[in-house]
Structure 1
């Protein structure tokens, strides 16, 4: 039997044991609290590793200006004491040499580190960008109010019984902070924290039970793909995706994961199943499919794709708009999908704002069969029910709506834009905002339909993107559904990889256009990938079009207008008007 080759784990996998970390615990005394306006008067530091003191650094610093009286009272450092001391330009290089590549520790580290960085910048010295630990942050996680009234160094010194009493002299305070650091490390050690990486991310928000679940990530691969947290019955609790499965899953057991529901999920999880994927796109697609299939209770997105809504222009002598859940091959025109019924209703309302399409729900034959409603008297319907409008005349109106839903809505959009301008000119800002929102709902739905239709109707598209590290990622899409992917290494024969991909890709049956053969969200992810810079179409069986004057362009213009803040002026104007009323 062949013995598998041993693989050296990375330092990221192993972590750095705290006993092997060199710490420089430091403290500064200054002339005040502003790093830019005040100066350093003393530097003190202790270098330790594995509980052993390796060296100490202490120097007074001539600030080049008088020390305020209240600072002298607080620290005991006076002007005569620093008169013969080195200036910061002499002290700083020596201190940086003492630091080396050690991890820096301070009590309220932001204060001390900012002072040091500002002075390095003034002197033209490179700051080492060392890892920094703050004993105040750790103490807030580990020392309760029952033990100490606050987390000042003097209070923590009493809790941990430091050998040196802090007295606002730099070296003494640094020595006391060393003992506080060791006391805090001892406490987290009892909670299972044994590496520098774990100590840096430690938070009391992460429960000991949650932290003990770290072993669930031990055997996971460092590869792109999907991960599935499961409970004791093997039921999926949460499904996610990452370019590095192992690293992402490990983050659920640290302070970097701050979502409350995720902490609850981890407590219930007993296993994590990895699904390694060839490419990032494949991982995203498989995540969507698994979420739709299993509907894990801790996933919030994409759980109910079956709830998508479509706007339908019916196929009858006098078409009307309706909202449906399914697209059929019935000769009707569809636009969507919409994530909610509310969005679909806004798009329908946008059409009714400017197009005299009938809004009654009964089916009308070619002969007059009813009486006109109030909309006819308002000029918002041609009253085909009373025979005032022939099927041919009504067909002209219906064609405008069909064009708008299909993506070529310049007539309808121009009419909506004109209505928007009139309302704004009349200072009817709230009404204008309503029309704007309806217009956006219509344009975005039409653009989505326009962009998805070429994919939904193309039997096969093969596209390529540059792979990380060289070579190519090839993706096969059939009727808008992700059918397969492969990675071709550098200098390999791309034709053979493409041929193999086509042979092994999923067979997909032709759907009812404009609905793709996949969940709409999946097709949109494929679209976004195809539209990325650097992605190339290798071959296409179908027609790939995007009209210059289509809804996609109109959506880009409207979104750009919103980004600039012009469209939201309606609400701002309303606020100003109310404020002056």
Structure 2
């Protein structure tokens, strides 16, 4: 094996810091001049990595147009070479006999590839053989970024200019100093010249970073952006590399799309590459004329601003959260004999929200299975009415106040039971419904049991969410601090279920003065009506998730943040582990 370095004679090669084989997300934005490429070529005994073996390896390491080193070796495949391979490459069985076996070569080759982008012509062939060799000999394939010069050529060159993207044809097109002759090192050198020729062309389609280069050459060619879309990446040039919210605007300054990112500039640039495959978003990018941004202290503030901007502008290319204030709730009516009603305006004592009326109705009907509230919609005066009892009265599920068979006082316990269930003060109805599921299973009424089980699980999820949101919205002021992973803190001031202020205390900065300043300048929140005190449910849930995950600490809370002791949350594990209660009949 021959390992060459570009250092002057007598000078030891400069050692570079070891880097992982897989580039990080940050490194994917590296300018092309700073990317290290290892251009590789293999010769083999045939075309299948399952049945054939490597006979020769050639690799050239380059960066910024400068050659850093070469690696070349013959490899003993442990078998004779077929005549057609000898005729094509000139490598004979005698030449490879006594050469190192692939298991001896692999460690050096993998070290040579470390931290670089693997480049090959028809790269799937070479990568397939290397992966198979690693699996066979106990090495972990490092999964380096792979660039195929054949695919890149087809993406960059027109068919008139390059009818063929074979290595020999491209080498002639770009005037390669070395002609490919089906020998590994010679072909790798020729591929280096082809790569440099292609890199000179990619700037014409707006490619300047490694991420964009890999996207340009990726397999899914139908998703490749047009040249005009790539040129629009200049819309991202003025954006900061900071967390926040971005807004795509159209020709009439209308907001087309709102999104959030931890790095605004990098995220917006990604919209102009083939990494973005959503058809509607690609259509949006084609119409975009400007991108505005709102820099935020951290990801939580960015997510909240995104919700608010989507609600305010209602961009036609955003599908979720366009109407965060529009939802369905289940609430008791205000009359002598209250009943459950599905409403769009939450009232005190309501539970929800639900994304559809059908979901709200299903939850309401499940509660009525355990609580003897009336389900009829007629308005009944306090002294009763003269209607005939319905079938529910005969089934024992209604006291028939409509027929004057139940007074207001006799009806009140059912109202109290429903209110206690919604507020989390009594989970008895949930227990009764769970017992009914078990009883149906014991009677081998499996289909009915499964239906009841699924409805009960849905009710538990809905009540848990509702009670947790209401508990957080009931807190007048709460201050949380979450470790930012670098020794600092992300801080949020929450009032009545809304984010009132956000900031950061970097490593080495005392957090309490920052918290005091944020608290003093926080937004004043006037609570509204309903269980969430007027706060949007999606924002409250976003804040709840941030407070209950990631090691967030409560710095201040007034009044105490507490969830009801008999809430539906105690039944969450039951809902999550719910399984079929028996074999369903054929």
Instruction: Return the TM-score normalized by structure 1.
Output: 0.83
Q: 2:560 aligns with which of 518, 531, 543?
A: 543
Contact kept, 8 Å, 2:32 with 2:64, in 1: the verdict is: no
**Counterpart in the other structure of 1:313:** 332
CA–CA distance in structure 2, aligned partners of residues 532 and 557 of structure 1: 22
Between stretches 273-282 and 433-442, larger displacement belongs to 433-442
CA–CA distance in structure 2, aligned partners of residues 167 and 373 of structure 1: 92
**Counterpart in the other structure of 2:234:** 215
CA–CA distance in structure 2, aligned partners of residues 558 and 145 of structure 1: 59
Q: Residue 448 of structure 1 aligns to a residue in which SS?
A: helix
* Equivalences for residues 481-560 of structure 1 within 5 A: 481-559=498-576
Distance 1:101-1:375 versus aligned 2 partners, 3 A rule: closer
Q: Does 1:364 align with 2:383?
A: no
**Counterpart in the other structure of 1:7:** none
CA–CA distance in structure 2, aligned partners of residues 382 and 159 of structure 1: 91
- Structure 1, unpaired ranges of 5+: 1-10
**Counterpart in the other structure of 1:303:** 322
Q: Does 1:251 align with 2:267?
A: no
Q: Does 1:293 align with 2:309?
A: no
- Structure 2, unpaired ranges of 5+: 1-25
**Counterpart in the other structure of 2:205:** 191
**Counterpart in the other structure of 1:225:** 244
Contact kept, 8 Å, 1:223 with 1:243, in 2: the verdict is: yes
Q: Does 1:16 align with 2:31?
A: yes
Q: 2:453 aligns with which of 417, 420, 436?
A: 436
Between stretches 175-184 and 516-525, larger displacement belongs to 175-184
Q: Residue 292 of structure 1 aligns to a residue in which SS?
A: helix
Distance 1:473-1:183 versus aligned 2 partners, 3 A rule: closer
CA–CA distance in structure 1, aligned partners of residues 516 and 118 of structure 2: 56
The structural deviation recorded for 1:146 is 8.7
The structural deviation recorded for 1:429 is 4.5
Aligned length: 555
CA–CA distance in structure 2, aligned partners of residues 141 and 82 of structure 1: 37
CA–CA distance in structure 1, aligned partners of residues 130 and 252 of structure 2: 55
Distance 1:114-1:390 versus aligned 2 partners, 3 A rule: same
The structural deviation recorded for 1:323 is 0.3
CA–CA distance in structure 2, aligned partners of residues 327 and 48 of structure 1: 64
Distance 1:509-1:128 versus aligned 2 partners, 3 A rule: closer
The structural deviation recorded for 1:304 is 0.9
The structural deviation recorded for 1:84 is 4.0
Please give the per-residue CA displacement for 1:339-398, whole angstroms capped at 9, x wherever unaligned: 111210110121233333211111212323122122222333221212333333322222
Distance 1:406-1:155 versus aligned 2 partners, 3 A rule: farther
Between stretches 300-309 and 99-108, larger displacement belongs to 99-108
Q: Residue 477 of structure 1 aligns to a residue in which SS?
A: strand
CA–CA distance in structure 2, aligned partners of residues 140 and 403 of structure 1: 68
**Counterpart in the other structure of 1:138:** 152
Contact kept, 8 Å, 1:25 with 1:47, in 2: the verdict is: yes
Between stretches 190-199 and 363-372, larger displacement belongs to 190-199
Distance 1:14-1:498 versus aligned 2 partners, 3 A rule: closer
Q: 1:234 aligns with which of 240, 246, 253?
A: 253
CA–CA distance in structure 1, aligned partners of residues 370 and 164 of structure 2: 66
Q: 2:53 aligns with which of 32, 39, 42?
A: 39
Distance 1:78-1:303 versus aligned 2 partners, 3 A rule: same
Q: 2:94 aligns with which of 72, 80, 89?
A: 80
Distance 1:311-1:59 versus aligned 2 partners, 3 A rule: same
**Counterpart in the other structure of 2:413:** 396
Q: 1:475 aligns with which of 492, 512, 521?
A: 492
Q: Residue 307 of structure 1 aligns to a residue in which SS?
A: coil
**Counterpart in the other structure of 1:344:** 360
Distance 1:149-1:406 versus aligned 2 partners, 3 A rule: farther
* Equivalences for residues 51-200 of structure 1 within 5 A: 58-67=72-81, 77-88=91-102, 91=105, 103-116=117-130, 119=133, 131-139=145-153, 141-142=155-156, 168-171=182-185, 173-174=187-188, 177-178=191-192, 180-182=194-196, 184-185=198-199, 187-200=201-214
The structural deviation recorded for 1:123 is 7.4
The structural deviation recorded for 1:130 is 5.4
Contact kept, 8 Å, 1:408 with 1:551, in 2: the verdict is: no
Q: Residue 511 of structure 1 aligns to a residue in which SS?
A: coil
Please give the per-residue CA displacement for 1:297-355, whole angstroms capped at 9, x wherever unaligned: 111111012321110122333221100011235xxx31011111121011012123333
The structural deviation recorded for 1:98 is 6.8
* Superposed CA RMSD: 3.6
The structural deviation recorded for 1:523 is 0.7
CA–CA distance in structure 2, aligned partners of residues 163 and 429 of structure 1: 76
The structural deviation recorded for 1:29 is 2.1
**Counterpart in the other structure of 1:457:** 474
The structural deviation recorded for 1:54 is 8.0
* Equivalences for residues 326-345 of structure 1 within 5 A: 326-328=345-347, 333-345=349-361
Distance 1:364-1:213 versus aligned 2 partners, 3 A rule: same
CA–CA distance in structure 1, aligned partners of residues 484 and 64 of structure 2: 44
CA–CA distance in structure 1, aligned partners of residues 169 and 398 of structure 2: 79
The structural deviation recorded for 1:22 is 5.8
CA–CA distance in structure 2, aligned partners of residues 202 and 535 of structure 1: 41
**Counterpart in the other structure of 1:273:** 292
Q: 1:29 aligns with which of 43, 48, 53?
A: 43
